[in-house]
A = this chain, B = another copy of it.
Amino acid sequence: MIRYSHTRLQALLSARFVEAGVSNDVAETTARVLVEGDLLGHHTHGVKLANGYLKDLSTGHAGGNPSRLTIERSSPVAALYDGHYLLGPYLVNHALEACAGVAREFGVGMVSLRRSHHIACLAAYLLPLVERGLIPIIMSSDPAVASVAPYGGTRPVYTPNPIAIGIPGREQPMLIDVSMSTVTNGTVNKAHASGVRLAHSVILDGYGAPSDDPSAFFGDPPGSILPLGGQAFGHKGFALGLMVETLTAALSGFGRKDAPQGWGAAVMVMVIDPVCFGGREAFLDETDYLARRCWESGEVEAGQHVRLPGQAGLTRRDEFLREGIPLPADVVTELEKALGGPAMAAEVAAL
C-alpha cells in the first residue's frame, strides 16, 4: 500500500490553497490541520475534505483571507469572533492560541465563534496545546444541517455536536473527540455509499422505527440519527447535544433561527491552564495515576487492554510520521481531485 509523506501532503495542499487565493498563513494552518486528522487516523476528516473546501473557495462561500475575521466583542479573557466563513482550521487555531495566552495569565480563556467555515477534525487541534501542559476544549455544531432527532422525536433537528478536549499526561496524553449522537453523519454516509448495514440500530426511519439500514436516513420523510445513549438512554445524549448546541450557536448569537445555507460551524473554544488551579505537577500526577488505574482495570475481551481516548490515534500518528500515511482509496480519489490529478497524488507519496 502506498504511504503518503505528511510533509509533502502539507506542502502541496498548502500551495494548492494559495493557488486558490488563500493567504499563506491560512493555507498553511488549514493544510496542517487536515493532514493532522489523517495522522491520527481520522481519514473522513482529513485531507479528504480539501476538495470540498476548494469548491467553496471557488464559489466565494468560504474565505481564505484573515481579514474576514472580525472580533465583535471582547473582555480580557473572552471574545466573540465572527468568521464570515473564513476557513475553519485557521479560525479555530487562532481562537485556541488567543485562549492559550489568556489561560496562562488568568487560568481560563474562551472564544465563541460564529459563521466559521467547516472546522475539520476536532482532535487535530489538541496536541500542540496539550504538549504545552494546557487543556484545550472545542465544541461544535452546524446550524445549516439537521441530522439528529431529539430523544422521543422522529425528525432531525440538530447535528452530532462533538466535544473535544485534550488532557495532558506524562505517560499518555488523552485526546477526546466524541459526538453527542450514537454515530456521526460521516458514518451513515460511508455505510450508505458502501451499501452496508450499520453495526447497530442507531437510525430512526422517517416514521420513528429504529433501523440499521443507512438508506432509512435518506428516505422520504427523512430519517434521523439517535442521540448518544440510544433508545434506552438517549435522553442523556439529547441533553448533551443541546448543551453543545447552545454553548456554540446560541452563545455566538447565530444559529438555526438565522437559517444559514452552506457548510459552516458554530464553535466554542476554551483553554484552561492547570497552573492557575491545583498546579501542573498535581494535575499530571493525577492523570498518570488515573491512566494506570484504567489500564489495570481488567479486560472484557481477553487480550483487549483498555485504551485511553486518543491512545490508538497517537500510536498510529508516531508510525505515520515515520512511515508515511496509508490513505484509504476514497481519500486518494478526493485528494487527486483537490491536487489536480493522479500525477500530483503520486508526487506526495514520496517519503
Across the interface, which residues of B come within 8 angstroms of A200, CB to CB? Answer: 232-233
Total copies of the chain: 2
> In the complex, what residue of chain B is closest to A255 when comparing beta carbons?
B286
> In the complex, what residue of chain B is closest to A294 when comparing beta carbons?
B150
| CB of A215 within 8 Å of the partner chain | no
Tell me the bound Cα distance from A278 to B150 in angstroms.
Answer: 25
Tell me the bound Cα distance from A48 to B212 in angstroms.
Answer: 43
Tell me the bound Cα distance from A182 to B229 in angstroms.
Answer: 8
Q: How many residues of A contact B (CB 8 A)?
A: 88
Across the interface, which residues of B come within 8 angstroms of A165, CB to CB? Answer: 243, 247
Contacting pair A252 B239 (CB below 8 A): no
CB distance from A143 to the nearest CB of B (A): 9
A259-295 residues at the B interface, CB under 8 angstroms: 272, 274, 276-279, 282-283, 285-287, 289-290, 293-294
Tell me the bound Cα distance from A176 to B301 in angstroms.
Answer: 34
| CB of A92 within 8 Å of the partner chain | no
Across the interface, which residues of B come within 8 angstroms of A77, CB to CB? Answer: 76-77, 106-108
| CB of A1 within 8 Å of the partner chain | no
Q: Which of A5-13, A34-42, A306-314, A326-334 contacts B (4 or more CB under 8 A)?
A: A306-314
Contacting pair B257 A75 (CB below 8 A): no
